[in-house]
Chains A and B, each alone.
Chain A
Amino acid sequence: MTRTLLVTGAGGVGKTTVAAGMAVHAARAGLRTLVVTVDPARRLATALGLNDLGNEPQPHAHEPNLWAAMLDATATWRAVAERHAEPAVAARLADDEFFQAAAEHFPASQSYAAADQAVTFVQAKAWDLVVVDTPPSGGGIDFFTAPAQMADLVGGRLLWWMTGGPLPGRFLFNMAGRPVLRIADSILGSDLLERVAEFLLDLRTTYHGVARRGREIEKVLRAASILVVTTADPAPVLEAIKFYRELPGVASSPTSVLFNRVLPESWSDARPPRSTSLELSNNLERWAAEAQRQRDTREEFSSRYGAHVATIPWSPVPPTNLDGLASLLAEGRNIPWSQIGILSSSGDMATQ
């Protein structure tokens, strides 16, 4: 069985670092592990042995059980088109410049491509664990709702209503009979409108495939463990709260919230020794205030949302190699190791 760990959260909180660190631990515990990321920082990409964007998982040169892949939304979009549309339509959807621009544009497409590709890796049954660093687009929740949004767009009453008739086909638009098209025509001009219409009609032929695939994706996402990464700063915390409120409706409840950049609690009530300079004791005082604020934020999160709270300490310089990634996670507390099938950071395999 392949376990799936989805690592999600606001941009800039160290989500990719956490995903990579979890993957390194799993690999070292003997699990064949694939980590899938979107747009890692250069230093992290180098640590993972990733040099090029590509959907093809690459085995790590020095870590036997670790593979890494960087999602390429354009390539995935092409694969989606080829899988669900007949060849002529697929070629148009993938090769036409306007269609490419449109595909990149509509809101769910990038997230849909990411979810579809991640699930393809899970279904390949080649790994014990797939760790997915989800893209932050649209507040991150898009990754989970995209399959349904996509099916809704290509098969919903909306396109039916606009294009008329149950039969998909090109140039079915009846301007005179559809007031929305007359108005759209006056705004967009008929050339652009026709191109948009062609695109939507082509997309519509993929409905059955996309809808079926959407249900498969949803099944995998519902069975996955979800780790929400945040810092104690207000904006990422708002985002983390959103996951706790909205995810249960569209996937499963988050397994844990992981606070990154955590300061030692012992700082909050520490007294500097008498000989300390004013500058250094003021410095401790302000960092202690920060530590206190962080602790209050975690406690509030835990009591209000019943969340399992994990923490990792504030590492001033992001890890640049696998050992650095591993030790960052090893210093963490309450990391949900059992969710990825290992007992603890010491690297023992779980028995069940």
Chain B
Amino acid sequence: MELGAPGGLSAHFGTGPFEFEPREVRPGLHAMRMIRSDALLEYLSLQLNVRGINRFGPMARAFDALATTAPGIREIITIGKAIWEVKEDRWDVVIADAPPTGQIGSFLRAPLTVEELVPTGRVRAQAELMRETLESEAETKLVLVTLPEELPATETRETLDWLDKEQVVAPPIVLANRVLDELNDAKTPEGPVGEAAELHRSLWAEQQIWLDAVPPHGRLPHLFGLFTPGEVAAHLCDELEALT
């Protein structure tokens, strides 16, 4: 499930942009893209029995404006769709490519925000259900992917502290990506071979600072010289298998 900017996830499969309707991209693997207006119309028709709204008409646009203005509503439409797919029992596992680490806190807190704003009514009941699903360790796992660099590591640290305080989801798993291995040979020959060794050692040393500051549960190696996202995905898949 692609929740963020379109194209980032679908590029890994080479199947063209994903649609709102899930489509099989590999045997047993289905993919979709979150389109908020579609999710809202689906919500209106499934949950509220409101049908026949023209998705380009003023009604849909007005709804979108209301939904984007009321704090939390935009997010719970997105989370709601994800949880609907979970509760429908069509899949064994639903994986969402969620918003970036810096925004994940307010995203996951959205159901609680709505509960605080809306005292009664259908949307409140649904927000409650969403909050419970997110809080349940058996149903929801959060994986924070980070890089061993200053900004991503700092952001991950802050997000971990925030989640620890707010408890909107079980403690997340942290994965560090693009981790370099240590060179044992300490020599620095003349020319490119020495330059490459020096760069590698400096980057490795800098990475250790941030791996110590935010210790990850798992590490994925830096992949050298890969061109397409598809190649990256295939290699990472092997590495993840080795981790588990």
Chain A positions near chain B (C-beta within 8 angstroms): 11-12, 41-43, 98, 101-102, 104-107, 139, 153, 157-159, 161-162, 179-180, 183-184, 186-189, 191-193, 195-196, 199-200, 234-235, 238, 263-264, 266-267, 270, 272-273, 275-277, 279-281, 283-284, 286-290, 292-293, 296, 314, 316-318
Contacts and interface: CB of A to CB of B under 8 A. Distances in A.
Given A279-B183, A318-B150, A234 B62 contact: no
B153 to A, nearest CB: 10
Interface of A is mostly: helix
Contacts of A284: 192-193, 196-197
Contact of B192 (A153, A158, A267, A316): A267
Nearest to A153: B65
B122 A281 contact: no
A137 B185 CA distance: 43
Contact of B189 (A106, A187, A275): A275
Given A186-B122, A272-B193, A276-B193, 6 more contacts: A98-B71, A106-B68, A180-B62, A280-B183, A293-B227, A316-B203
Interface of B is mostly: helix
Interface stretch (B3-11, B23-31, B86-94): B3-11
A316 B193 CA distance: 17
Which residue, of B70, B154, B226, has the highest number of chain A Cβ atoms within 10 A? B70
Given A102-B70, A200-B69, A283-B196, A277 B185 contact: yes
Interface string B190-207: 111111110110110110
Nearest to B229: A234
B193 A314 contact: no
A273 B191 contact: yes
A292 B206 contact: no
Contacts of B196: 267, 280, 283-284, 287-288
B185 A289 contact: no
B111 to A, nearest CB: 14
Contacts of A188: 66, 70, 73, 118, 121, 123
20 contacts: A105-B70, A157-B58, A179-B59, A189-B118, A191-B119, A234-B229, A235-B229, A238-B7, A270-B192, A272-B189, A276-B193, A279-B183, A279-B184, A279-B185, A280-B196, A283-B193, A286-B224, A289-B225, A296-B227, A316-B206
